[in-house]
Amino acid sequence: MARWWQTVSQEDNDPSSRNPMLYDPLQDGVVKTSKKMQYFAAMVVCLGAVSAGTALAWTSPVLPQISEDPNANTTANNATADGSSSSQLQLTLSQQTWVSSLLAIGAFLGALPTGYIADYIGRRYTALVMDIPFIVAWTATIFANSATVLYFARFTIGLATGSFCVVAPMYISEIAESSIRGTLGTLFQLTLSIGILLVYIIGAMVTWTTLSVLCLLVPVALFIGMLFLPETPTYLLKKGRRGDAALSLKWLWGRYCDSRTAIQQIQSELDQAGGNASFSDVFRIRAARNGLIISMLLMFFQQFSGVNAVIFYTVPIFKSAGSTLDPSICSIIVGFVQVVMTFTSSLMIEKAGRKSLLIFSSTIMTICLAILGAYFDMKDDGKDVSSIGWLPLLCVVLYMITFSVGYGPIPWLMMGELFLPDVKATAVALTVMSNWFSVFLVTKTFGSMITAWGSDMTFWFFAFCMFVATMYVAFMVLETKGKSSSQIQSWLDNK
């Protein structure tokens, strides 16, 4: 009678080869994979993205509550759900600026070492270790009684945010089957948007300390969840732990998956990579260098799409359209649109593809930004724009929809697809650092651009950036949908 089962590692005399969990079905009708645990693992690690989203959005409802300006405190007095008075912590405008910007500085500095840590102790343990700064930072925030404590908390939470921007996409890209790699890859941006939306909603109803307590629950849940997840098969194979890699695949892909074939494919990619790469190899190896250029430019275009400028102008644009909505409601509407459309992107990405969604996204954003620039040009010239107040509102909605479908999630997804395992940690870390540098650059220069150029020229500048993005993606970026790692590397090597 023919054998129905064969272990993935018995040909290597692996001591764990007798483990019944390592046996693969040999009959084609028996071989099948389950995606349930892949989704579960991706959602758990993406709780780090939820934490990052809550950290990013935290200043929006909180700064008015802890501002020294008595007019700004009116919102806090009215918004507190428990009837308490405004916070005893009062920050000057300069202190508020530091509270807002220290997160970006921390994220920039936290990204690069995370890549090395992930290669040394593994993706799973890195996520566990880097979750601790989240917990420490939110705890410090809850008990903050001075600006100095808040500075420490915001910088520390920035370190954790930058770290999870590296390790979460890396973990997801290494556990996902190719058929759902795109869908799982968009979860990072989706859960980040969910974190932002949660803070907008909850922050409008509770005090800032209560909000911080609720934000603390997310990294606590993340830490507990990561205890149950396996290490990625790719990392385990890099360390020569073939049996453990097979067990990880069985946990993630299901008991009846063909782990032998999957292990062989991953091992082939590792052999192609040729072992551990040095920092200089990211720039010396042609495929890695081209992948890094593409990843960094996509992150650059993501931030220089002017998304922060559009969000900043959401309230005045709503008012110009005749809306009397409270600013917090405007923020919730924008956050809701982001979440819904990023979720839509996760459903579309394996059908429409990465490249087509990026081109669609940047094209529509170019048009919307150009119209917004024209609107503010007419308004600043003193022309009556009351009859077209609906037009900039429409542009903002279309802009947020197309950003959330394309340039919001896809740069994070492609960052995990473009590199072989030997250079992935370093390349992903450098890409994340470039993203946070762009965040810091746009945030710091936006006010100066408005003052020196005016609103019209500022929006036209971002429109030009999106036009360049459209041309770049159309002619210089590969469609990675459905392509194996070796196919992607072959294209990058010949680019």
Q: Which domains does the chain have, with CATH numbers?
A: 34-67+90-229 (1.20.1250.20), 274-494 (1.20.1250.20)
User: Do 46 and 180 meet the contact criterion of CB atoms below 8 Å apart?
Assistant: no
Q: Which residue matches tokens 């799982």?
A: 184
- One-letter amino acid at 422 equals D
* pLDDT given at position 322: 63
Q: How far is CA 287 from the centre of its chain?
A: 24
% of the chain beyond a pLDDT of 70? 87
Closest CA to 39 of 149, 176, 169, 140: 176
Q: Is the pLDDT of residue 74 over 60?
A: no
pLDDT in tens, 437-480: 888 888 778 778 888 898 889 999 999 999 999 999 999 998 88
Q: What is the pLDDT of residue 20?
A: 53
Whether the per-residue pLDDT at 46 is higher than 70: the answer is yes
Q: Report the residue count for the chain.
A: 495
HSE, side-chain direction, 13 A CA sphere, residue 326: 11
Span 204-215, pLDDT tens digits: 899 999 999 999
Burial 247-258 (b: 16+ CB within 10 A, else e): bbbbbbbbeebb
Residues 6+ apart with CB under 8 A from 440: 101, 104, 105, 108
Distance CA 217, CA 225 (A): 12
Three-state secondary structure call for residue 145:
coil
DSSP code, position 275: S
d(CA 458, CA 454): 6
Which of 19-23, 249-253, 357-361 is the most confident on average?
357-361
**What are 297-329's pLDDT values in tens digits?**
999 999 999 887 777 677 677 776 666 677 778
Q: Taking residues 343-370, what's their average pLDDT? A: 90
Whole-number Å distance between alpha carbons of 228 and 217 = 18
For residues 419, 424, 430, 434, the Cα torsion angle rounded to the nearest 10 degrees is 50
**Six-digit token string for 454:** 């005016």
Q: How far apart are CA 41 and CA 31, in angstroms?
A: 22
Burial of 115 (0-12, 13-18, 19+ CB in 10 A): buried
- In this predicted structure, the answer to whether residue 6 has a pLDDT above a threshold of 50 is no
Task: Give the number of other Cβ atoms within 10 Å of residue 410's Cβ.
Answer: 26
Q: What is the 3-state secondary structure (H, E, C) of 193-256?
A: HHHHHHHHHHHCCCCHHHHHHHHHHHHHHHHHHHCCCCCCHHHHHHCCCHHHHHHHHHHHHCCC
- Separation CA 202–CA 205 (nearest Å): 5
Q: What is the pLDDT of residue 77?
A: 41
- Say which residue, 50 or 343, is predicted with more confidence: 50
Q: Tell me the pLDDT tens digit for each residue of 171-216.
A: 998 888 877 887 888 888 899 999 999 998 998 899 999 999 999 9
Dihedral angle, C-alpha 432, 438, 444, 446, nearest 10 ° = -140
Tokens of 400: 């947020």
Q: What does pTM read for this prediction?
A: 0.80
